[in-house]
Structures are given as structure tokens and as C-alpha cells.
Amino acid sequence: MCQPKIMNTQKGRTMYEDEYVDSAFEWSFLELTDRMKQFISDDEHSVIYKNNLDKPVQYHRISDTGIPRRQSGEIEDADSGHKLEIPMQASVRLLEFKETINGWDFNIFTLNSLTNGHAMQAMCYEIFKSHNLLNEFHLQESQFMRFIIQVEKHYRRNPYHNATHAADVLQTVNCIIKQTGFVKLMSNLEVFCILLTAVVHDIEHTGTNNNFHNNSNSELSKLYVVSILENHHLRVGLRMMAEFKILQFLTKEMYQDFKFMMATMILSTDMANHFLLITNVKLMLLTSTKCSTRIRIQRIMMFILHAADISNPAKPWGVHKVWVSLLCEEFFLQGDKERELKLPVSPNCDRNTANIATLQIGFMQTFGRETFDVLDAMVEKEIVNAGAVYTGYKPWHSCLEENMTKWNGKWKYIKYEQIEELLIETAQHRMSIPTHQTTVRVKHRSSLNKLCCCFCCRNKPTFRQEESSYAFSIDK
């Protein structure tokens, strides 16, 4: 099979005719402000490195059949000595997940239940090992998993924007690049970057949107001028990578490329930039480029992460309806806060007036369909231009249409509480959680949501966070 034809488009190089006509496209929303650049630079110089990164650490993973098991169900890694108590039945079910981890119909909630609320740990271990990225970038397994464990802790227990969402986005990104064949066009650094960015893309999310931060004059709104949450995710993500020396073996040039790619991808997840992003990718489609380029590939990476971030309407119905319940609860909790603070209630955040089906149908028609149509066209064009084989993998369209049909049918007038009760009944039927654990409510937060994000942690001490766990300074 012929190697993909990818042109290096470094600065100063002369472009051939229409090879990269879109180089002059307007991507202004990706430019970091001078203030943000200074923040990141200051963080790089003030970072405090973690010690004992090579010391063994306990973490959740999907085990291999070759790992010795004891009768108690304890799994031991013969090489590293890592141990983790997992029921034997759960261990067997985890092995089944290893076979489907690259598929679109993967159920992140079942994995979350089997790993006691730590789907991120298991997902990161499997995906990064499958690409051989730890060896490629000279990372010790214990060092990398310590980093992942801390990232997971820095995700808050929001109904929707939590560590489970990050694990789902990671799995979705991996599925898209692998199943379409796009990964063959990417360098190892690009694969490493898009997967790590998926892991941290919503870190320390407050469970409220940028509009809320602006209206409430929050501390984060004083730090970041535009894309408040996205800039914060970027800053915290880079800071944590530095603390755990995740990028220590990158050359200076590779580090600058990594930082730029990560910044563009995270900022592209701001929904305020959605239509500008769509427009620019469509303009890329109109060029008559006869080969792929590094810059084009990196821009498609931005779009892949954005598509994965809003992919829940295009997932199988059983997964999609759970995400809908969680997202609605987070919206409504924000609306409750806004009402309490006497602020205007944001669109879709009023639990008294919102129609769930209308919200979902509107989102699918406005954002979902076009996003995945453009994704298909862009990925196919780049793969063909590079001389590689396009697989034609696109199961998201059938899921999107099926979900829209359901919302237009018997689910059209269903209320939020009814969705929740149906999901709890489904969870009990599938025996994914014991019946007696689905009856407790704490304020607005149902036990269903504890199942979906960090259910098994409900008896652990609450980890309270301010808007950021880092003491970032605010300019006076």
C-alpha cells in the first residue's frame, strides 16, 4: 500500500499554486490574547514538579487475560506490581469492553459502573497503550497514570461536564481517527496531542456556561476575556502536564507545536465559535488541493475534537438519552442559580418551561447534522488526497436520524422527571447497579447521575473546589 502523501508546510516555504489556498482563511478566534499568552508563560516558569512519579500507583484498567488473578478477584500486574480490587464478574465484563473500545456503539456508562466511577482511568490506559504513545514519548506507566488520576480529580462532580464526559470524548475521538483511517495521516505527536487534549478539554468545568460567568462577574471572568472556560481548561491542562513532566522529552519545536495544537483544539470547543469553525472548514473543502498538509490535518483535528464534544445526539439511543438527562439537569441547575442570583435565566435553563424534545431536535437540526456532514466530507477528502484508503465509516448519521425520530415520536412531550425514572428502571433491569442504590436523592442531584458520573464515590468525602484549584493571580 502506498504511503500517504503529506506535504510539510513550515513557515517560509513557498506554496505551489493552489496547494494551500486556504492559508489566508480567517481563524481569528484561535488567536490567544496577549494576556493569555503571558499567563501560560508565567505558569511555565513557576511550575512545581511532582516527585516520585516512578513510584507504583493503583489505578483502574481493563485487564489482559495474561494477568494473574487470585480467588478474591484481585488483579495483579506481574510487571509493575499494581493491584486493584475488582469483582471477578466485573473483570470478565471488562474484557468484553476491550474488544469494542474502538466502536461507535461503546457504552461509557457501563464501563463507568464496572470501574467504580473511574472510566477515565481505564479508557486512558487502553487507548494510549494501543497507540504505543507511552513508549514513543518516554513516559513511565506509573508517571502517566498518576497524571490521569489527578486530572480525573480535577474534574468536578457536575451532572454532565465531568470526568465521564471527558472519557467519552476521548473514546469518540479515538473511534473517529481509527475507524475512518485518518490516524494514518497523523504524526505521533498529533495523535498524542489530540488524545491528551480530549482528556483535559473540560478540566475544572464549573457546570455553568460562559454566559453565566460573564453575567455573574465570576472570578474566572476577571481572568479571561473571551472563551472563559476554554481558556481556563487550556491553562490548567498545560500546567498539570508540566507538573507531571508529561512533555519533558519533547524538543522545543515539538513542544511549541503541541501547545499550539492543544490551544486551537480546546478553543474550538467553545460553541460561540461553532459557525465560524464550520464556515472555515467548508472553505477548505472548496480548495482544489491535490495533497494533504500538516496545517490542514491539524485544522481537521480541531474539527474532530469539536464533533466528538457534541456527539451525544449522534450516539446510539441508549447512550444518548442518558446524556440528555444529565445535560438537562446541569442546565436546570444553572437556571436555578441564575434565578437565585436574580440574573436573567439563560436559554434552555429554565426547568419550568423547557421542552426536552424541542431542545434536542433543535440542536440536532442546527448543529448535529451539519457537523457530521462536514466531518465526513473533510476527512474523506484529506484521506483521498493523501493517497490513503478511506473506509467510509460513518455510523453517526443513522444514530442521529433514529434519535430525531424518537424525539419526534412518543418522546415528544416527555418531561425531564419521566426520562430520569425510565433510565433508572433501565439501569435496574440491566443489573448495572443494585436497586437499593437508586432511590436516594440529594437536593436536585439524582442517584442516576451519581451512577453516570461518579456514583460509586458518593460515600467518599466531598472534594470541594473553588473556581480553580490553582491560585492563579488576577491583574488589578
Catalytic residues: 161
- Please indicate if the annotation marks 162 as binding a ligand: yes
User: Does 82 count as an annotated binding residue?
Assistant: no
Distance CA(444)–CA(206), nearest Å, equals 16
Specify whether the CB–CB gap between 177 and 186 falls below 8 A: yes
Question: Residue 165 annotated as binding?
Answer: yes
202 annotated as belonging to a binding site for a ligand: yes
272 appears as a binding residue in the annotation = no
45 is in an annotated binding site: no
Q: Tell me how far CA of residue 374 lies from CA of 6, 226, 325, 380, in angstroms.
A: 21, 26, 27, 10
Query: Which cell is 230 given?
Result: 476554554
Find out whether 9 is annotated in a ligand binding site.
no
Query: Which residues are part of a known binding site for AMP?
Result: 161-165, 202, 309, 360
Query: Which residues are part of a known binding site?
Result: 161-165, 201-202, 309, 360
Query: Which residues are part of a known binding site for Zn(2+)?
Result: 165, 201-202, 309
